[in-house]
Structure 1
Amino acid sequence: ACQSFARGVAEKYRDKNIRSNAVCPGYIGSFHGQPEWALLRRFGIDALDEGIASMPGRLCDPEEVAAAALFLASDDATFVTGTQLFMDNVYTAI
């Protein structure tokens, strides 16, 4: 749904130089990620900190997500629109 929304907005507004992209982070090593890990454990998923860190190789730093979003908003990405940027170290491909 997010990809379709980002692409639809990008297509509709590209002639007005409005870009739309979706940033899709994986597990984030932040205080806000802790409740998600607890919920996964409650449903029987091995979501110990060590297990989550080993699945994608490591947890993503919040600063890495911010840097990607800033890149997409910058003049360096003027031709990048309607895309979905996965930031999960290929976790969703496994």
Structure 2
Amino acid sequence: MGIHLMRTGELDADLTHLFRYGPPYLPELVAAKREAEHGGAPPVPTAGDDVARLTAELQEARDTSALPETATAGPALHDLVVRTRLGRP
């Protein structure tokens, strides 16, 4: 998800949309997790190499990202939370 976010500026939490960023066994891992939705996650095969590769890709995506260095939505988010808590539109 992080690699996709850094490269596109889009937040997409649906792993089925992000298979191209993951290891080749990611679809199988998602399917196994769906089958055991309320159980533990299945073991990740040969994760060591993939973790290192994906970490490097994430760092490269961060370094070349067009996203701002710091968040810019703070004041607007604060205003939204306050208005929501006070029940104002």
Could you state the TM-score of these two structures normalised by the residue count of structure 2?
Answer: 0.24
Quick check: which one's helix share is greater? Answer: 2
Could you state the TM-score of these two structures normalised by the residue count of structure 1?
Answer: 0.24
Q: Which has the higher contact order (CA 8 A, sep 6+)?
A: 1
- Tell me which structure has the larger Cα radius of gyration: 2
Quick check: which one's strand share is greater? Answer: 1
